[in-house]
Amino acid sequence: MEDVKKLKIQYLEYLEIEKNRSPKTAGNYGRYLDRFIQFSKAKSVSDITEEGIRQYRLHLNRVRDQRGQTLKKTTQNYHIIALRNFLKYMTKIGIKCVPADRIELGKQEDREVTFLEQDELDRLMDSPQGKELNALRDKAIISTLFSTGMRVSELCSLDRDRIDTKRGELSVVGKGKKIRLVFLSDETKNHISEYINKRTDVDESLFIRIPKRGFGKETNLRLTPRSIQRIIQNHATKAGIMGKKVSPHTLRHSFATDLLRNGADIRSVQAMLGHSSVTTTQIYTHVTDKQLREIHKKFHNKK
């Protein structure tokens, strides 16, 4: 009898080593699988049945958190994806189990996409004022996020010796350790150059925290995703952007929306965002529907 818990550990190691998934992703899959194993009381893979999976899906759909709220369909699907991929791995290593393709995902709600209109972007960009290092840094951060569509984790990992402000392009390592090319606008190149030229420290990181007492013997000044999120939120408040929760990801959404509104094809946007599937990129087509309405009004049924 193959112990399901041992096989789970083997699968997570396969994810990390063979599939090049991050430890965070492997950890999430581990938690999702632990929940299923605990619910189903499965000791071996043969204990995992289609009826048991159906009961688990009902459980996920009905369970409530401490606030009395049900799990989002997206979260429910994350649990099922982890289980389905685990079963795919069982088949791969020759262990008989429920076929993974028998497990369908639930229909998800449309993801809500928050993005900034041009006037809001302008106000956000203008929020960092002056020639102090922190203002130059913040302006470079905002401009880089909108110019490249980077994830905040990708932005945090940048080193300044990798930035070529003449060529205006750089490679970033995204999810699944996939490398893609991103591009800096002329405006962004200028903001980054001005910021780098003002720095007097020797830290290799591109975006750093600035100690109140100046640069001394402090090491590891690299900004964290949470720090960058606070910087963006502070400037959004200063810029008077109301009714929207503005984050680094909002600028990623704004980047994609801007490209599509201006005629970019969805496959190109997919490549620039680093999405493995075009289905993920298609969430942005909803926000461009307004243009379709205007086209319909302008051209339909004209006499």
Residues with catalytic function: 151, 175, 249, 252, 275, 284
Q: What 3-state class would DSSP assign to 166?
A: coil
9 token code pair: 């550990």
**Number of neighbours of residue 62 by Cβ within 10 angstroms:** 9
Q: Classify strands 179-183 and 169-173 as parallel, antiparallel or unpaired.
A: antiparallel
Residue 283 φ then ψ, to 5°: -60, -25
Q: Which amino acid is at 270?
A: Q
Report how far residue 172's alpha carbon sits from residue 291's, in angstroms, rounded to the nearest whole number.
32
Note whether 81 and 57 are within 8 A (CB).
no
Report how far residue 147's alpha carbon sits from residue 149's, in angstroms, rounded to the nearest whole number.
6
Stated length of the chain: 303
Report how far residue 267's alpha carbon sits from residue 134's, in angstroms, rounded to the nearest whole number.
37
Report how far residue 281's alpha carbon sits from residue 64's, in angstroms, rounded to the nearest whole number.
30
Q: What 3-state class would DSSP assign to 173?
A: strand
Strand partners, 256: none
**Number of neighbours of residue 240 by Cβ within 10 angstroms:** 10
| CB within 8 Å of 85: residues ≥ 6 apart | 29, 100
Helix (H) or strand (E) holding 170: strand 169-173
Strand partners, 64: 70
